[in-house]
Structure 1
């Protein structure tokens, strides 16, 4: 009996000190949001949601590779995805952030662009795998890029008429601000996305439960650069809807 009690106690202690399940979290590097060193707004939110229950490995890579890693089950969480009909991924109910509207970069000496319809018949560059082509008129030609960095150079070389990107990437796309930046399109919600596995569904439920609690406790604002960015994320709607 004593040996049995010792064995049960040892088993209990070993479970208490067992290494937490390791999660691989992947994203593209967005300065200030998903930095290569594992810091930034979105990294901090992921840590706040999962850090107490899981061991986290945060990796930045190209968007295409990050997406593929989660789709194929070689990584567990994709940071900064757009809710889509991608059947290889699982999306939570609640968002991670609210992205600013799309911007178009163009030469105002060659074109007058004020709305998405003005891109009809034009060649427009943008990050491939971001789903940007779906915003364009049917007569537009989408020129997919692996990187948005200095993509305005394609306008100068007359390879494209315009570049489509989000506000956060404007400085990367046109670092010298040589061209006109025109807001175009609508805001979009950013999400975490998970592998379509039993663990992925579990992580989705974990996120929805914990992010709601963090909003209620007003613990998310500290991770944003300023109060305005937090308000724009529109997290309070999570509480008001419930």
Structure 2
């Protein structure tokens, strides 16, 4: 009951803020905090507030007098809490082509590479996409990792990552392509020994963003995000933060920021 009342209070608070913004009564000086939600991803969204994403978002908003309120929630529930119930202002880790009613800043927060998984005992080489040629390659139905014209292999689709691991273990596919965190979660659920597998990365990554609730208040949040990303980049703080977590600034961010400077 206490948890439900807390969620209702947060919802009502956000609703009042959004209404004030839409009537012109709110501007940046009235905004004291931003609430952002994400699943727990080690090194990115740690529960103690450390991690690349949390630290970057603090560096963006806190110098502007806006305190970051973060929450750790499983993905599907987190998305509903932003888009349907409007408890949180934004979610971290969404793709730009999302079908959810979100709005996005100019700059991505990260780039995600799909993992290519094989059984180590098979000794299959990895020399980029050419290694898939003539093999049986599996990915989740609807992923469309590669367009038809690049599929010189037999595609095997399945509905869950766990099903893909079973196909790989049985030798019914040679390579499996999926998101690393989904593979790790499915393997952990089965107490699977990850030492049995060899991991590589697909050559092309996909940018991931902070997705904001579609509201007038979010327009202010996004404006601050874009401005501060430019400032952090030019002060070298952005590079230092990504290096701290052994991550890479998305190339699209670098390209956009360099274009701004020209």
SS of structure 2 residue aligned to 1:229? coil
Closer, same or farther: CA 84–223 of 1 in aligned 2, 3 Å? same
Pick aligned residue for 1:89 from 98, 102, 112: 102
Normalised TM-score (structure 2): 0.65
The Cα shift of 1:68 comes to 2.0
**Pairing partner for 2:223 from 198, 205, 224:** 205
State the distance in 1 between where 2:114 and 2:167 align: 19
Q: Deviations over 1:20-47 (max 9, x none)?
A: 5332211111111111222111100111
Deviates more, 1:56-65 or 1:160-169: 160-169
Tell me the CA shift for residue 84 of structure 1: 0.9
Residue 80 (str. 1) matches residue 96 (str. 2): no
Which of 40, 58, 66 is residue 47 of structure 1 equivalent to? 58
Answering whether residue 43 of structure 2 is matched by residue 28 of structure 1, we say no
Displacement, 1:121? 7.0
TM-score by length of 1: 0.70
Which of 102, 105, 120 is matched with 2:114 structurally? Answer: 102
Question: Does structure 1 residue 196 correspond to structure 2 residue 210?
Answer: no
CA offset at residue 225 of structure 1? 4.4
* Aligned partner of 2:160 among 126, 141, 144: 144
C-alpha displacement of 1:184: 2.6
Q: Partners of 2:173 and 2:79 in 1: how far apart?
A: 26
Q: Is the 8 A contact 1:119 1:136 kept in 2?
A: no
Consecutive unaligned residues of structure 1, counting only runs of 5 or more, are 1-17, 127-131
1:115 aligns with 2:129: yes
RMSD: 3.7
Query: Please, which moves more after superposition, 79-88 or 157-166?
Result: 157-166
Query: Residue by residue, what CA displacement relative to the aligned partner does 1:98-142 show, whole Å, maximum 9, x if unpaired?
Result: 33x32221337498886396598755359xxxxx71315675424
Number of matched pairs: 214
Q: Relative to structure 1, is the Cα distance of residues 64 and 85 closer, same or farther in structure 2, using a 3 angstrom cutoff?
A: closer
Q: Does 1:156 align with 2:174?
A: no
Q: Deviations over 1:178-201 (max 9, x none)?
A: 123243351121211101111122
Please say which of residues 173-182 and 28-37 is displaced more in the overlay.
173-182
Match of 1:124 in 2: 139
More helix by share: 2
C-alpha deviations, 1:160-213, integer Å up to 9, x for none? 875433467776657532123243351121211101111122212221111111
SS at match of 2:76: helix
CA distance in 2 between counterparts of 1:119 and 1:20 reads 57
